């Protein structure tokens, strides 16, 4: 049975230009101890999907469908019930440590706060546990670093603090939002190794535009475009045998595969293209693609693709 079962999820919110349909009928499953990478360009709806799971979208956002976590629908929990789960069982490693960390609190105290809140430990014990988490996140001289403020740490070290904080309460399910964004190549490689080591044996949704990093960390990958999942398979299959033209283009745009960007730009989520949402940019688009919306086609070994060519 899946630990997390997302069924027909839709999320939308108002903007001055109209209704933004950020997530459109998404179905996804994450099993126990499975790490799923959610890949896509900026603005494709992947962060909104993550925020829907942990229910941190603004109250003005409309969210429909089901998000079944260990048998209970998160969308039907009260705010208090959700607050009990958030951080303790379901935690988020937020993107952008520079804005996510409190600049006037020492990093050790920030982690200790999470531990006291969710584990009920006293101040001294929580602080000692925070130092252990910084050690686990491979921060040298963890005790000294715990007494520093975020601005005293490098970008890579702040990312390690975010990871330590996200995992401090030993959650069963982690959502990591763009954990490698903005890091130089060497730091990124270290963070990828760290996340892989620290999330072994946990379930995780890793939201990222970095397919190479997701390939190294995740068991499966789902590719999102204009609010929809276009392809889903094992990480190995997505990297080596992608079937959807968008995934194929995404892979060709990687620096390691020639850096050939997909032509055109991401569509509007207010007024997405008719038919297949990728058709204006697809080199294989046919007449039918402009008017008919392709369903997810099941291929073999848990591989599925939303493209008429895969039928």
**Minimal distance in Å, beta carbon 295 to ligand SF4?**
10
**Whose CA is closest to 87, among 56, 126, 123, 49?**
56
Q: Kindly state the smallest distance separating residue 286's Cβ from ligand SF4, in Å.
A: 6
Beta-carbon contacts of 61 under 8 Å, excluding residues fewer than 6 positions away, are: 11, 12, 13, 48, 52
Helix (H, G, I), strand (E, B) or coil at 20: strand
Among positions 9, 101, 142, 289, the unique one binding ligand SF4 when judged by CB under 6 A: 289
Query: Total binding residues for ligand SF4 by CB under 6 A?
Result: 13
- Please report how close the Cβ of residue 228 comes to ligand SF4 at its closest, in angstroms: 11
Provide CB contacts within 8 A for 289, sequence distance 6+.
275, 276, 279, 282, 308
Backbone angles phi, psi at 302, to 5 degrees: 70, 15
**Alpha carbons 11 and 57: distance in angstroms, whole number:** 9
| Dist. CA 47–CA 92, nearest whole Å | 11
**Residues in region 219-248 near ligand SF4 by CB under 6 A:** 245
CB of 285 closer than 8 Å to CB of 305: no
Query: Where does this chain touch ligand SF4 (CB under 6 A) — which range of 10-18, 83-91, 254-262, 279-287?
Result: 279-287
Give the one residue of 284, 291, 295, 302 binding ligand SF4; rule: CB under 6 A: 284
Pick 108 or 245: Cβ nearer ligand SF4: 245
Q: Which of residues 10-49 bind ligand SF4 (CB under 6 A)?
A: none
Q: Site map for ligand SF4, 245-264, x if CB under 6 A?
A: x-------------------
Does residue 50 belong to the site contacting ligand SF4 (CB under 6 A)? no
- Interface with ligand SF4 by CB under 6 A: which residues? 245, 276, 278-279, 282, 284-286, 289, 294, 307-309
């Amino acid at each position: 049975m899946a630990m997390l079962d997302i069924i027909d999820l839709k999320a939308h919110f108002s903007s001055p230009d109209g209704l933004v349909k950020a997530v459109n009928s998404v179905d996804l499953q994450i099993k126990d101890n499975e790490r799923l990478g959610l890949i896509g360009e900026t603005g494709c709806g992947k962060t909104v999907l993550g925020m829907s799971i942990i229910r941190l979208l603004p109250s003005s956002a409309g969210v429909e469908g089901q998000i079944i976590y260990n048998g209970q629908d998160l969308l039907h929990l009260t705010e208090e019930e959700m607050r009990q789960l958030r951080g303790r069982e379901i935690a988020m490693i937020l993107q952008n440590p520079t804005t996510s960390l409190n600049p006037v609190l020492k990093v050790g105290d920030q982690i200790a706060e999470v531990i006291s809140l969710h584990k009920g430990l006293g101040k001294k014990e929580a602080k000692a546990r925070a130092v252990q988490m910084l050690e686990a996140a491979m921060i040298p001289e963890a005790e000294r670093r715990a007494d520093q403020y975020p601005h005293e740490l490098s970008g890579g070290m702040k990312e390690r603090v975010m990871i330590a904080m996200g995992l401090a309460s030993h959650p069963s399910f982690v959502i990591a939002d763009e954990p490698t964004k903005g890091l130089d190549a060497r730091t990124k490689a270290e963070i990828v190794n760290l996340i892989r080591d620290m999330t072994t044996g946990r379930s995780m949704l890793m939201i990222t535009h970095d397919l190479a990093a997701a390939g190294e960390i995740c068991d499966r990958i789902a590719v999102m475009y204009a609010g929809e999942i276009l392809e889903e398979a094992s990480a190995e299959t997505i990297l080596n045998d992608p079937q959807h033209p968008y995934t194929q283009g995404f892979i060709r745009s990687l620096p390691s595969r020639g850096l050939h960007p997909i032509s055109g730009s991401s569509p509007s989520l207010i007024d997405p293209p008719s038919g297949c949402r990728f058709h204006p940019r697809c080199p294989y688009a046919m007449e039918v693609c402009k008017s008919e919306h392709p369903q997810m086609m099941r291929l073999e070994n848990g591989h599925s693709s939303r493209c008429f060519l895969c039928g």
